């Protein structure tokens, strides 16, 4: 069996996705997600010009060797574009191996550790009341864990919340140039305690609560926030501060017992090695698409398990259903799986392009026993929905200084 062709598709069913199809001489093919939000065409060019030609003729079963060839074998390591390309090839090869074996990928990883994958859903509101109305609706659908994001009074736009009431799915799509948002830590601190105070009063103590700070705070501000929210017993605080300096989390950790989660922008184990090894975080949120695929996430999960760190994979709308499927197989296997972020299955166009077999029952995702990853890609439907240049926003402080988005 050998790799005969590698095709790269970019389509926009509501937002852009880069999809890789690895085709073998037997006709069996595998699919991978290579979407890097706002940088889609860079990954397309990288895959077509620098990755695909090196793989034609190779045995698709040599997943580890191909991963090492693309990572260790080159001088330029790491980085989101490179790692998304490796990730997509890797997912496609696991998909092929599963199809050849007639087994779902989780069986190749070691089998099921649990009956389903616990999800956390998003409640994003224009006001605290609106956020909690949405959280109540999700709880009544069966979700046991909810991420709460509420607009910050006095700011134009707040991360996760849309002024024009569009769906979160569209949040990062269809913008020909980067829009700008503003940030005030003082205004945020005036809102955030009240959000969780009202949440516990209305939703009770049983529901698991999560909040994404989206890296807007300095480490000492995150420490203050973690301490302030301890009484509301969050499952975790996500991306409280940037951790380009992994030591930042020592500052946070020494002040608060609120659990910390980070990792959605990380590309390798090296980006989170100290955070995990020093037990500075509780959940590692790497995504298969951005951190080197199933081979890499399996290694990160195993490393994290030694240090009591659980996995909580990123599940934003800019990860395609192929990535979600890869997460499902990892989540159902990983002994140290924590929780999966979930924003729904997207709009009708997206569901027409990507046919997947994941179902949700009572806040839990169920993985099917279809061989491979269990996703199909409709090339004709994708062709009808061409790429549209779009960007994530840029953030500024109220005095105009560029800040972390």
Which residues are annotated as catalytic?
159, 214
CB 97 within 8 A of CB 24: no
Using CB under 6 A as the binding criterion, the count of chain residues that bind ligand KDG stands at: 10
**What torsion, rounded to 10 degrees, do the Cα atoms 77, 79, 84, 87 define?**
40
Q: Is 318 in the site for Mg ion (CB under 5 A)?
A: no
Instruction: Say which entry of ligand KDG, Mg ion, none residue 172 contacts (CB below 5 to 8 A, set by partner kind).
Output: ligand KDG
Binding to ligand KDG by CB under 6 A, coded x per residue (else -) over 334-373, reads -------x--------------------------------
Tokens of 238: 């996500």
- Whether the CA torsion 60, 116, 144, 130 is positive or negative: it is positive
- CB count, 10 Å around CB of 306? 10
Residue nearest to ligand KDG (CB): 316
41's contact among ligand KDG, Mg ion, none, with CB below 5 to 8 A by partner kind, is: none
Instruction: In angstroms, give the least distance from the CB of 238 to ligand KDG.
Output: 6
Buried b (16+ CB within 10 A) or exposed e, 238-249: bbbbbbeebebb
User: Applying CB under 5 A, which of residues 33, 40, 182, 212 lies at the interface with Mg ion?
Assistant: 212
Nearest approach, Cβ of 37 to ligand KDG (angstroms)?
4
Residue 348 backbone dihedrals phi, psi, to 5 degrees: -65, -40
**CB-based contact 291:33 (threshold 8 Å):** no
Indicate whether 12 belongs to the interface with ligand KDG (CB under 6 A): no
Question: Closer CB to Mg ion, residue 46 or residue 169?
Answer: 169
* 182: contact with Mg ion by CB under 5 A: no
Cα–Cα distance measured from residue 183 to residue 64, given in angstroms and rounded to the nearest whole number:
44
CA nearest to 105, candidates 93, 114, 115: 93
Please identify, using beta-carbon distances, which residue of 42 and 316 lies nearer to ligand KDG: 316
Torsion of CA 190, 191, 195, 196, to 10 degrees: -40
Packing angle of the helix pair 80-101, 321-333 (nearest 10 deg): 70
Among 162-170, 178-186, 207-215, 389-397, the segment contacting Mg ion (CB under 5 A): 207-215
341 touching Mg ion, by CB under 5 A: no
- Residue 318 contact, options Mg ion, ligand KDG, none, Cβ 5-8 Å cut-off depending on partner type: ligand KDG
Residue 15, interface with ligand KDG (CB under 6 A)?
Answer: no
- Site membership for ligand KDG, residue 37 (CB under 6 A): yes
Closest CA to 260 of 278, 242, 235: 235
Kindly indicate which of the ranges 95-103, 294-302, 310-318, 376-384 contains the residues binding ligand KDG, using the contact rule CB under 6 A. Answer: 310-318
Which C-beta is closer to ligand KDG: that of 52 or that of 325? Answer: 325
168 vs 303, beta carbon nearer ligand KDG: 168
264 binds ligand KDG (CB under 6 A): yes
189-248: contacts with ligand KDG (CB under 6 A): 212, 214
Q: Looking at 23, 103, 191, 316, which residue binds ligand KDG (CB under 6 A)?
A: 316
Least Å distance, CB 214 to Mg ion, is 6
Site for ligand KDG in 130-189 (CB under 6 A): 172
Q: What is the spatial distance between Cα 7 and Cα 23, in angstroms, rounded to a whole number?
A: 8
Q: State the binding partner of 282 from Mg ion, ligand KDG, none, CB within 5 to 8 A by kind.
A: none
Q: At its nearest, how many Å lie between Mg ion and the CB of residue 317? A: 12
33 binds ligand KDG (CB under 6 A): no
Listed ranges 120-128, 172-180, 210-218, 255-263: which one lies at the site for Mg ion (CB under 5 A):
210-218
Report the nearest approach of Mg ion to the CB of residue 400 (Å): 25
Task: For residue 68, give every residue at least 6 positions away whose Cβ sits within 8 Å of its Cβ, in sequence order, or none.
Answer: none
Which positions ≥6 away from 380 have C-beta within 8 Å? Answer: none
Helices (H), 245-345: 248-253, 273-277, 293-306, 321-333
**C-alpha of 354 from chain center:** 17
**Nearest residue to the partner Mg ion, using Cβ:** 212
Backbone angles phi, psi at 157, to 5 degrees: -140, 145
Of 178-186, 253-261, 312-320, 396-404, which part binds ligand KDG (CB under 6 A)?
312-320
Phi, psi torsion values for 266, nearest 5 degrees? -75, 150
Q: Which two tokens stand for residue 137?
A: 């609706």
Measure the CA–CA gap between 315 and 342, rounded to whole angstroms.
5
State how far Cα 192 lies from the chain centre.
Answer: 24
Please give the residue ranges that form the binding site for ligand KDG (CB under 6 A): 37, 172, 212, 214, 264, 314, 316, 318, 341, 392
Residues that bind Mg ion (CB under 5 A): 212
């Amino acid at each position: 069996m050998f790799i005969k062709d590698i095709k790269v598709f970019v389509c926009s069913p509501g937002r852009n996705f880069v999809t890789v199809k690895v085709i073998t001489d037997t006709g069996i093919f595998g699919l991978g997600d290579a979407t890097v939000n706002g940088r889609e065409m860079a990954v397309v060019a990288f895959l077509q010009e620098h990755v695909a030609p090196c793989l034609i003729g190779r045995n698709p079963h040599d997943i580890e060797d191909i991963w090492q060839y693309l990572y260790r074998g080159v001088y330029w390591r790491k980085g989101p574009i490179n790692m998304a390309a490796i990730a997509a090839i890797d997912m496609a090869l696991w998909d092929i191996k599963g199809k050849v074996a007639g087994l779902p990928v989780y069986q190749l990883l070691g089998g099921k550790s649990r009956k389903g994958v616990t999800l956390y859903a998003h409640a994003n509101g224009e006001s605290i009341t609106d956020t909690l109305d949405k959280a109540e609706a999700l709880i009544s659908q069966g979700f046991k864990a909810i991420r709460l994001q509420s607009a910050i009074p006095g700011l134009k736009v707040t991360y996760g919340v849309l002024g024009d009431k569009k769906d979160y799915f569209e949040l990062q799509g269809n913008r020909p140039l980067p829009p700008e948002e503003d940030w005030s830590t003082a205004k945020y601190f005036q809102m955030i305690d009240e959000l969780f105070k009202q949440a516990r009063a209305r939703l009770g103590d049983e529901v698991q609560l999560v909040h994404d700070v989206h890296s807007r705070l300095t480490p000492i501000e995150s420490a203050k926030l973690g301490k302030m929210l301890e009484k509301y017993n969050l499952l975790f605080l996500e991306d409280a501060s940037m951790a380009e300096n992994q030591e930042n989390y020592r500052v946070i950790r020494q002040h608060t017992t609120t659990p910390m989660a980070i990792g959605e922008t990380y590309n390798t184990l090296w980006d989170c090695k100290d955070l995990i090894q020093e037990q500075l975080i509780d959940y590692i949120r790497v995504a298969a698409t951005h951190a080197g695929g199933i081979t890499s996430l399996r290694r990160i999960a195993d490393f994290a398990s030694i240090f009591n760190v659980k996995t909580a994979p990123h599940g934003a709308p800019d990860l395609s259903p192929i990535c979600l499927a890869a997460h499902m197989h990892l989540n159902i296997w990983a002994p140290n799986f924590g929780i999966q972020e979930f924003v729904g299955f997207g709009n009708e166009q997206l569901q027409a392009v990507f046919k997947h077999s994941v179902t949700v029952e009572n806040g839990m995702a169920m993985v099917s026993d279809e061989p491979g990853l269990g996703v199909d890609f409709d090339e004709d439907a994708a062709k009808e929905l061409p790429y549209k240049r779009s960007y994530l926003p840029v953030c500024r402080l109220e005095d105009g200084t560029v800040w972390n988005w």
